[in-house]
Structure 1
Amino acid sequence: MHRHQLDFWYDFASPYAYLAAMRIEALAETHAVDIRWRPFLLGPIFAAQGWTDSPFNLFPAKGRYHWRDLARQSAKYGLPFKAPANFPPNSLAAVRIGLHLRDNDQVGPFSRALFAATFGEGRTMSDADVLASVLTGLGIDAGRAIAESQSPGVKARLRAETEEARSRGLFGSPTFLTGDGELFWGNDRLEEAIAWAAGERPGDMR
């Protein structure tokens, strides 16, 4: 069977990306779609729009709605949900580790485990002990992975990934990009993105 591809762009600080990350591979497999995990930093893209904080914080009414919505959606999918004490969490170290782990196909398991720790358990993703615990739980040498994620090569890759995200028109997380460049934003567009990547064209009015 021919395999299709879908790029899954996400910032670890995004709670809606948590919902998508915990569902995406099972859904993709039903359509013979391979997922490319693309962690990046959303902060620079927000900054380019003049935002100095998460929209959850900049627009309090919207923030209150989103936290309630996240609780509802998590329950819908049977996922635990606990808002982190400080939002948005600092995702820099996590994104660097994710990019480093892409070289040996461990970025997916790491991403799911860290999302679960952050938004399922309310742990602090920027805490070195939390990162080490997640890595060790996956059988990864935590000290080595953390050290190598801070290399100049990984830092340069992060800059390139974030610039690619900006140049391709990304403005939020999660975002899904199909092989033909179709962009879908938000956890609630995951199923549609996978269908499109597989060759189905629901809602295509072009």
Structure 2
Amino acid sequence: MSIPVVDFWFDFGSTYSYPAAIRAPACAAKIGVSIRYRPFLLGPIFKAQGWDTSPFNIYEAKGRYMWRDLERVCAELSIPFRRPEPFPQDSLLAARVAIAGRNESWHDDYCRAVFRAQFGEGLRIDDTTVIAGILHRAGAPASWLEQAGSDDVKRVLRTETEQARQLGIFGAPSFITPDGELFWGNDRLDTALAWAKGTAAATA
């Protein structure tokens, strides 16, 4: 039986995508499922819902709760947390670099490192110096920054974002199982993985 692959859709500016990105590999490996990182942009999807910023900014009480909850989640996972300013951050540069290197061995390490830099260290992920440093630590040359600005990368990112919308994704993190089931939220990661494992076994 082949290993089922769960698509992990995220925006680098998404708060709850941070703990999901960090814990996803170990959770997936534990039950024999593979995770595929799929960066996209939430901005166009939010705009289609009538929002010009994160709903955590629009709804003050919800935002207060989210920041405190994220602190608790990160503490439970023993991962660093530092509230980034501003929020949400412009994730376009980080996403384009990820798209450019989507077939490279450093891609997943880079994605996790971007989240750690932003939500663990409070760094600006729209800063080319920060992204260059992350690439260096992931073992990738800074030349990927130039490739990230290519027309092809821009097109692919737009396509990925449109695909996310067509899949019914409305927030991040979202997980799509091989049979097309959608699970939303860091707290649904384990459920999505178990679902993928179970359906794969049932059809084997």
Q: What TM-score comes out, normalization by structure 2 length?
A: 0.95
- Residue 2 of structure 1: how far off its partner (Å): 3.0
2:180 corresponds in structure 1 to 181
Deviations along 1:9-38, one digit per CA (max 9) or x if unpaired, are 000001100000000001101121111110
- Residue 200 of structure 1: how far off its partner (Å): 5.8
1:131-150 map, 5 Å: 131-142=131-142, 144-150=143-149
CA distance in 1, matches of 2:4, 2:173: 19
5+ residue gaps, structure 1:
202-206
Given that 1:18 and 1:116 are in contact with CA atoms closer than 8 Å, whether structure 2 keeps it comes out as yes
CA distance in 1, matches of 2:78, 2:199: 28
Deviations along 1:132-170, one digit per CA (max 9) or x if unpaired, are 11001112111x100001100000001100000000000
1:51-200 map, 5 Å: 51-142=51-142, 144-199=143-198
Q: Supply the RMSD in Å over aligned alpha carbons.
A: 1.2
Deviates more, 1:124-133 or 1:191-200: 191-200
CA distance in 2, matches of 1:48, 1:105: 34
Runs of 4+ in structure 1 off by over 2 angstroms are none
5+ residue gaps, structure 2:
none
Deviations along 1:111-148, one digit per CA (max 9) or x if unpaired, are 11111111001111111110011001112111x10000
Q: What TM-score comes out, normalization by structure 1 length?
A: 0.95
1:26 corresponds in structure 2 to 26
CA distance in 2, matches of 1:151, 1:165: 21
Q: Which letter maps to 1:199?
A: G
Deviations along 1:75-132, one digit per CA (max 9) or x if unpaired, are 0111110010100000000010111111224221101111111100111111111001
Identity of aligned residues (%): 50
